[in-house]
A = this chain, B = another copy of it.
Amino acid sequence: MEQELPIFESVFSVDCVIFGFEEGVLKVLLIERNEPPFKDWWALPGYLVEPNEGIDEAAQRILFKFTGLKDIFLEQLYTFGDVDRHPQGRLITIAYYAMMRLNGKKDLKPSSAFVKKAFWCPVSDVPQLAFDHTQIFEKSLQKIRRKISYSPIAFELLPEKFTLTQLQNLYEAILNKKLDKRNFRKKMLNYGILKELNEKQQGVSYRAAAYYKFDRRKYNKLFQKELSFMKEDDAGH
């Protein structure tokens, strides 16, 4: 006879690490918690997943409820499952991350009593966060630091037209280090993936800098031909 199988009930959470870039500063989206545990602490937006909810779906729902942001392209980062990461027992959490360009228009409107406020915090000013959120935040930072070295995410964070100084500021903000200006420009221009526009900054008191655009077509070609060790599509007949 077939044995009776137990029914599993599982409680787990999702947390979202959303990076935004604005005027040379890399920021992360935080909330101030309104409920115990860690009441009044700053934390990543995150909460329990409903029993009948997919995990990607839960991440979108909770991010919207806690911050007002919606339709963000969230990618799964990592699952954190240390035995003692949560004071209320064994609770694993699936972390998601995203990067976005901030343009001043990104109003944050939490609609959950769980959240006192949601705000963008400069990455360099992030204090100790609730639970293991500091660890989750740092792992996400490492992820985007690696990613910026092999993918063109930088250009998704800048306005369509940008100066080389703005581009360098972004790399410096993500890598958290000063880069040599001459080397940086030489290297960036050598790739041939930036298109200089016939247009300069307006209304600046210093020498106006030229605007550039990212040339995605060239990037894709270069990436396929040179930057990739053995691309699948490039290796064939």
Contacts and interface: CB of A to CB of B under 8 A. Distances in A.
A177 B76 CA distance: 29
Q: Copy number in this complex?
A: 2
Contact of A12 (B3, B12, B150): B12
Contact of A235 (B3, B12, B171, B226): B171
A2 interface: yes
Interface residues of A, number: 60
Given A54-B83, A179-B235, A10 B92 contact: yes
A156 interface: no
Given A78-B76, A149-B231, A187-B230, A5 B88 contact: yes
26 contacts: A3-B36, A5-B36, A5-B87, A8-B91, A10-B10, A12-B92, A49-B81, A51-B83, A54-B83, A55-B79, A55-B81, A79-B79, A81-B94, A148-B229, A148-B230, A149-B230, A150-B228, A152-B229, A180-B237, A183-B235, A183-B237, A187-B235, A188-B230, A223-B229, A227-B227, A227-B229
